[in-house]
């Protein structure tokens, strides 16, 4: 075991060739899965993720080579240049944020991992503001393995887009980065509760559904003692499933909820429809606006609609 080190599949994005062999760990053996020189643009990464692999392994002596690869990938993504398309840049940034979310989800007690996620959120905030078209590329990355961190990244992007439409970026600028971290790990409890993710929540059996319904409260219980968490991150984990008709797990009303809870609840519900229905944003939004009328706050739904409209997505 000491001869191998884990890496996250979500970091293997973009057209940069990997300078290491990557292995899967099966029945006590390390089996070669991806060869040095492979790259993961387009649907190649989807095929890999379709195998529901979250981690792979590299030879421990290649750890520094992997770190250099990560560094180079991130640099290519955040430094706008002529030879890397916005699509590839967006895929790399999505992967990096997903990896940060997975790390923090697995070890929320770590202040260092919290700070990595916060730093990623800050960079993403700037990138997304400078490159509004990146939303289209983000929504095109299929969540083939129903990964909660992948979902967290999309909820973060949709929430930021809604905040831009509602003027919250100007009104409460100091809280946007914390909101993004909250979105990244809002479903933290699903990493621990063993509820199947490939089934729509409303189709779960009774026992699983009861556990599912507690995930926001249980997730909050899990992290509430960690003082390195911004209070807004804690609040988003606790309240992202609340509905204005009091049908949420804590039966809160609109007036009880801070606007960031209303924003993230809308972004969360919309990405859940996108993931489980497999529809385009245009198809999904039409049904969403009808189904969620009176359930999610109207202003945030209009904010979502306007953000998608401006980008030509609906
Ligand atoms: Fe949730
Ligand atoms: Fe969620």
pLDDT by position in tens, the chain (length 314): 569 999 999 999 888 899 999 999 999 999 998 999 998 876 777 777 788 888 999 999 999 999 999 999 999 899 887 688 999 999 999 999 999 999 999 999 999 999 999 999 999 999 999 999 999 999 999 898 899 999 999 999 999 999 999 999 999 999 999 999 999 999 999 999 989 888 888 889 999 999 999 999 999 999 999 999 999 999 999 999 999 999 999 999 999 999 999 999 999 999 999 998 888 999 999 999 999 999 999 999 999 999 999 999 99
Pairing of strands 4-8, 29-34: unpaired
- The CA 47 to ligand 1 mean position distance, Å, reads 26
Of 268, 228, 233, the closest CA to residue 249 belongs to 268
37 torsion bin: left (phi>0), alpha (psi -120 to 50), beta (else): left
Dist. CA 237 → ligand 1 center (Å): 8
What separation in Å is there between the alpha carbon of 186 and the centre of ligand 1? 6
The two tokens of residue 138 are 């983000």
Q: For residues 207 and 81, what is the distance between their CA atoms, to the nearest angstrom?
A: 51
Q: 215 CA distance to ligand 1 centroid (A)?
A: 7
208 Cβ neighbours under 8 A, 6+ residues apart = 195, 196
C-alpha 236 to ligand 2 mean position (Å):
10
Instruction: List the Cα angle 292/293/294 in 5-degree steps.
Output: 105
217 CA → ligand 1 middle, Å: 10
Class of domain 85-310: mainly alpha
DSSP 93-149: HHHHHHHHHHHHHH-TT-HHHHHHHHHHHHHHHHHHHH-TTHHHHHHHS--TT--HH
DSSP-assigned states of every residue in 192-238:
TS---SSS-GGGS-HHHHHHHHTHHHHHHHHHTT-TTS-HHHHHHHH
Distance between CA atoms of residues 23 and 32, nearest Å = 4
- How many A from CA of 291 to the centre of ligand 1? 18
Q: If you search the block for the tokens 């556990």, which residue do you land on?
A: 211
**CA of residue 186 to ligand 2 center, whole Å:** 6
Ligand 1 centroid – CA 190 distance (Å): 8
- What are the residue boundaries of the structural domains of the chain, listed by start? 1-84, 85-310
Between CA 45 and CA 142 the distance in angstroms is: 10
């Amino acid at each position: 075991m000491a001869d191998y080190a884990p890496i996250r599949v979500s970091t293997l994005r973009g057209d940069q060739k990997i300078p290491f062999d990557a292995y899967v760990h099966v029945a006590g053996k390390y089996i070669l899965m991806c060869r040095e020189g492979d790259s993961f643009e387009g649907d190649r990464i989807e095929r890999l993720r379709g195998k529901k692999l979250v981690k792979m392994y590299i030879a421990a002596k290649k750890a520094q080579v992997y770190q250099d690869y990560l560094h180079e990938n991130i640099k290519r993504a955040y430094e706008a240049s002529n030879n890397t398309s916005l699509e590839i840049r967006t895929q790399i940034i999505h992967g990096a944020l997903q990896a940060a979310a997975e790390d923090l989800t697995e070890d929320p007690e770590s202040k260092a991992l919290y700070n990595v996620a916060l730093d990623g959120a800050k960079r993403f905030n700037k990138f997304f503001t400078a490159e509004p078209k990146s939303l289209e590329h983000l929504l095109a990355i299929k969540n083939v393995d129903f990964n909660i961190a992948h979902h967290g990244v999309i909820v973060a992007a949709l929430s930021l887009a809604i905040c831009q439409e509602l003027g919250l970026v100007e009104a409460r600028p100091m809280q946007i980065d914390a909101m993004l971290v909250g979105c990244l790990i809002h479903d933290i409890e699903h990493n621990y509760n063993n509820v199947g993710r490939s089934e729509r929540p409303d189709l779960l059996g009774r026992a699983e559904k009861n556990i599912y319904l507690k995930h926001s409260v249980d997730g909050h219980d899990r992290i509430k003692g960690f003082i390195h968490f911004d209070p807004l991150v804690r609040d988003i984990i606790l309240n992202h499933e609340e509905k204005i008709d009091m049908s949420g797990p804590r039966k809160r009303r609109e007036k009880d909820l801070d606007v960031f809870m209303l924003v993230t609840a809308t972004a969360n519900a919309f990405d859940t429809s996108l993931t489980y229905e497999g529809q385009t944003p245009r198809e999904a939004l039409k049904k969403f606006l009808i189904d969620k009328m009176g359930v999610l706050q109207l202003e945030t739904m209009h904010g979502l609609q306007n953000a998608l409209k401006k980008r030509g997505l609906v």
